[in-house]
Amino acid sequence: MSTNTLATCLIWLAALFVTAVFVCLLADIISQGLTGLSWSYLIEPPQDAGRAGGIGSIIVSTGLILLVAIATSAPLGLATAILLTEFSTQKSTFAQFVERSLDVLSGIPSIIFGLFGNAFFCIYLGLGFSILSGGLTLACMALPILIRTATEGLRAVPNDYRLSAAALSMTRTSALIHLLVPAATPALVAGLMLGIGRAGAETAALIFTSGYVDRMPDSVMDSGRALSVHIYDLSMNVAGGDAKANSAALVLIILLFVINSVSSFLANHWMHKRIIHL
């Protein structure tokens, strides 16, 4: 067997192994959680510590937390990526310090982010246990992934784009808006989806920031229980809550899948329209 054939086989085996793990995990969750799904389960509030009722208020709280996280991390991440790629050199001390800091932040456990969010957002800023505190904490967690991905995407844009913009006397801002950012859109969307995936599945960080309250929130200043926290509570603290935990886990997977699919569709649609106009 040649080296090329062996390498190809190993790559296929690795891909098949990852796919098999995902399929087994998904099949287990679907088999145990599908029976508990219904329209009433999705719209009714939890009752009896989650043993009865639904997850209507939990879904609303989760959506608001993710909305705060995305609305905060997306512009900050893109601005930082632009600063690192277009307004500073890759070998500059500032860029290297920021990138090393991002690498360190990416490896910090979520519970550390939770303690930071509790101390800074909940106590120091006086936001208390609230959806806003949880969303801002998740934004801090998603920023390293988002910035790193956006930075690599902008650096992958051919330098000819920049030279062409300069030749046409385009301002740097105009070149960014009309050329560089659209060309890096796939990487930006990938980073956003990875950030959403990590934020949507976090538990430890939200326990210390958004809280456990399972009622319907009136605003982002109210405490709200995310789906991940609800799943953890049902599995670990509520006797007889495993069935409801599996159903909630399936809803969380579907929610993340829908968000990722919509993000990909909008990005591809926007890129297609840009290509047609060009």
Q: How many angstroms separate the CA atoms of 247 and 264, rounded?
A: 26
82 inside domain = yes
Least confident interval from 58-62, 155-159, 207-211: 155-159
How many structural domains are present in the chain?
Answer: 1
Q: Give CA–CA dist 188/192, Å, rounded.
A: 6
53, part of any domain: yes
In a domain? residue 153 = yes
Most trustworthy range by pLDDT among 55-69, 84-98, 145-159: 55-69
Give residue-wise pLDDT tens across range 6-61.
Answer: 888 889 999 899 899 988 888 888 888 888 888 888 888 888 877 888 888 999 99
Residue 31 lies in a domain: no
Flag whether 249 is in a domain: yes
- Is residue 214 domain-resident? yes
Amino acid identity for residue 106 in this structure: S
Q: Which domain holds residue 101?
A: 37-277
Residue 164: which CATH number? 1.10.3720.10
Instruction: Compute the radius of gyration of the chain from its Cα atoms.
Output: 22
d(CA 263, CA 17): 27
If you ran DSSP here, which 8-state letter would residue 48 be given? G
2-6, 83-87, 104-108: which has the minimum mean pLDDT?
Answer: 2-6
Q: How many CB atoms lie within 10 A of CB 168?
A: 10
Q: pTM of the predicted model, to two decimals? A: 0.85
For 177, phi then psi, to 5°, come to -70, -40
Is 74 in contact with 143 (CB distance < 8 Å)?
Answer: no
Does residue 180 lie within any of the structural domains? Answer: yes
| 13 within domain boundaries | no
CA distances (Å), 37 to each of 93, 184, 232, in order?
Answer: 53, 39, 18
**pLDDT, tens digit, 9 for 90 and up, residues 236-259:** 888 878 888 888 888 888 887 887
Q: Determine the average pLDDT of the residues in 77-91.
A: 85
pLDDT tens per residue across span 257-275: 887 777 777 666 666 665 5
